[in-house]
A = this chain, B = another copy of it.
Amino acid sequence: MAEQYASMRNLRFLLYEVFGADQLHTSSYYEGYDREAFDLALDAAKQISDRYLFPSYRIMDKEKARYENGKVITHPLMRPAIKAIAESGWISAHHPYHEGGQQMPVSLLNASSFLFYCSNANLASHPFLTSGAANLIMAFGSEELKATYLPEMFAGNWQGTMALTEPQAGSSLSDIVTQAVPTADGAYAVKGQKIYISGGDHSAADNFVHLLLARIQGAPAGTKGISLFVVPKFRPENGTLVDNHVTTAGIYGKMGQKGYVAAHLMLGEQGETKAFLVGEANRGLPYMFQMMNEARISTGLMATGTATAAYYASLQYANERSQGRHPSNKDLTQPPVRIIEHADVRRMLLFQKAIVEGSISLLMQCSYYADLMKTCDPAQAKNYHILLELLTPVAKTYPAEMGTQAVSQGMQVLGGAGYTDDFPLEQYYRDIRINCIYEGTTGIHGLDLLGRKVMMENGKAMTLLMQEVKTVIEKAMGRSELRSYAETLSQRVAALHQTTLHLIQLAMTQNAEVFLADATLYLEFFGTVVIGWQWLNQGLSLPENVSNLPEGPEKDFYVGKLHTLGYYFEYELPKTLALEIRLKSENRVTLETTAQFIN
């Protein structure tokens, strides 16, 4: 049996049965994207994943990227895989037909990219990073920039990157210092260093197109003086590529994702590095946020993909490995049972399933909102936009944090074998962990959620979300097998609402430090409730009385869904009780424990 890394059945369940994304074709923008078109695209993504991505996942780790004589050498399997993805049109798929794209629904594109991430997150990151960079040029770049860079990026020949982080600044973008000085030809000369640049240099692309943040000489301090530039490694000039003096000082030795390089780049050290302004000066950060928001959803997809593949690897082991006997039957003349027979192993598998299927459901929800934005009237579109803004920190963080825990439980299913490289769990364990750091650490997203998203437009996003959740709860109240879960969720949503009001009260009466001190815990509370909503919403799409369905894989799928929903409500949702207590507490221990007392 071929190893499984994703469930096509589950993707179709979400796309067709839960969200009805295959009905988007009734809008003129997505005309033609009927279910057949969806199936074709998904199958095409699966075939590329089967052929190019999954077989190279372990190899790219064991034969990791290396830095030699100023060059970065990545695995030779990467180039044909990136080309295969590009040639099927995935890098440009998102764009309208008139811009060379396929006008593909975001739901379908993200479901497909999820398959790539499941099969090989490290490889898949390359084309989707290029896609994000290209989207930014498409949205804000001049016609000349588009004409110069997009065709090669869409073809998978040139790698796009995000170049934000600097050694002294880290998460604090207001402190970046890379400087851009205007040159006579209307371009800029940049000088500075960028670190942790994912895909920033490798041997599977002919050129690199860095979407880079820098300050134009004399620009205001802080985030209002940051501009966005295109900085190529090789500059197209008169039909040839000229060295643009973007040098790679080295690559980081990472715990995981060893085939996916994080580069340290030096700009303007060994010669002039030309940079081309994207859009207006000093507006770089708002522009970059478009790419960052996409990258945050991609990070959620990547984390969910890795955790999903780990789930199926654990499940296969649990179904094949025999060991021990049931507690009430210690008859040694009988053979050992498969370990999936043990309640504790099933608990770990259900945990994994609850996390990964809850996460992908949320990511499909966000994708579907993005599609609705394109197909509904402008007032509604604005609502979907702010819902998406509110949910983005959750869709990034929940899969990263809980996916990391899910992979850990997956390793535990295998026992000692899971810690060895005889099985892929140890790589999934190392690889997934970075997602809690990529694109803003969990702490940064806590601040974003509570300090910015919850507060924006007087809490309008929160109101909209509460309406969405309430709609699901009300429908579930009418279904006998879901009623108790609906009641539980209703109670937990009320608790989240009260906790939010309590924190807003703090924001008004205390300083920002007090208000935001436990923003990370608030994000955890919020995320756990949001995934509960997603599970209950999946429950609404199950047939009534699943136990009466005819025996077979379809029944198994639906009963499995209902049980996993039950698992989530039994084992996961109650964790919010402790978070609620803490968030409402008057104790300020993390603020009062000043540095000298942490010793």
**Chain A residues within 8 Å of B, Cβ to Cβ:** 7, 165, 169-172, 174-175, 195-196, 221-222, 252-256, 262, 315, 318-319, 323-328, 330, 332-333, 336, 338, 340-347, 349-350, 353, 404, 408, 411-412, 415-416, 418-422, 426, 429-430, 433-434, 436-437, 441-443, 446-447, 451, 511-513, 515-520, 553, 556-557, 559-560, 563-564, 566-567, 570-571, 574-578, 581-582, 585, 587, 589-593, 595-599
Q: Which residues of B contact A596 (CB under 8 A)?
A: 556, 560
Q: Are A175 and B336 in contact (CB under 8 A)?
A: yes
A156 to chain B, nearest CB (A): 27
A575 to chain B, nearest CB (A): 5
Q: Are B255 and A426 in contact (CB under 8 A)?
A: yes
Residue of B nearest to A165 (CB): B416
Residue of B nearest to A345 (CB): B443
With beta carbons under 8 angstroms apart, the residue of B252, B323, B577 that contacts A581 is B577
A118 to chain B, nearest CB (A): 16
Q: Which residues of B contact A515 (CB under 8 A)?
A: 327
With beta carbons under 8 angstroms apart, the residue of B323, B333, B408, B420 that contacts A169 is B323
With beta carbons under 8 angstroms apart, the residue of B256, B411, B559, B595 that contacts A341 is B595
Q: Which residues of B contact A416 (CB under 8 A)?
A: 165, 170, 195-196, 262, 437
Q: How many copies does the complex hold?
A: 2
Q: Which residues of B contact A408 (CB under 8 A)?
A: 404, 433
Residue of B nearest to A573 (CB): B578
Q: Which residues of B contact A589 (CB under 8 A)?
A: 350, 563, 566-567, 570
Q: CA separation between A136 and B598, bound complex, in Å?
A: 41
Q: Are A592 and B570 in contact (CB under 8 A)?
A: no
A573 to chain B, nearest CB (A): 8
A440 to chain B, nearest CB (A): 10
Q: Are B513 and A560 in contact (CB under 8 A)?
A: no
Q: Which residues of B contact A585 (CB under 8 A)?
A: 570
Q: Which 9 A-B pairs have the closest CB atoms?
A: A327-B512, A574-B578, A253-B421, A255-B426, A560-B597, A343-B517, A328-B512, A344-B443, A563-B593
Q: Are A560 and B340 in contact (CB under 8 A)?
A: no
Q: Are B172 and A347 in contact (CB under 8 A)?
A: no
Q: Are A327 and B513 in contact (CB under 8 A)?
A: yes
Q: CA separation between A426 and B342, bound complex, in Å?
A: 33
Q: Are A513 and B593 in contact (CB under 8 A)?
A: no
Besides the contacts A175-B323, A255-B430, A412-B436, what 17 more A-B pairs have beta carbons closer than 8 Å?
A: A7-B599, A165-B416, A170-B323, A171-B415, A252-B419, A255-B426, A326-B513, A327-B512, A327-B516, A347-B520, A353-B598, A556-B596, A563-B592, A563-B597, A564-B593, A567-B590, A570-B585
Q: Are B430 and A412 in contact (CB under 8 A)?
A: no
A468 to chain B, nearest CB (A): 25
A292 to chain B, nearest CB (A): 15
With beta carbons under 8 angstroms apart, the residue of B338, B343, B577 that contacts A513 is B343
Q: CA separation between A170 and B413, bound complex, in Å?
A: 12
Q: Which residues of B contact A415 (CB under 8 A)?
A: 170-171, 437, 441
Q: CA separation between A593 and B347, bound complex, in Å?
A: 9
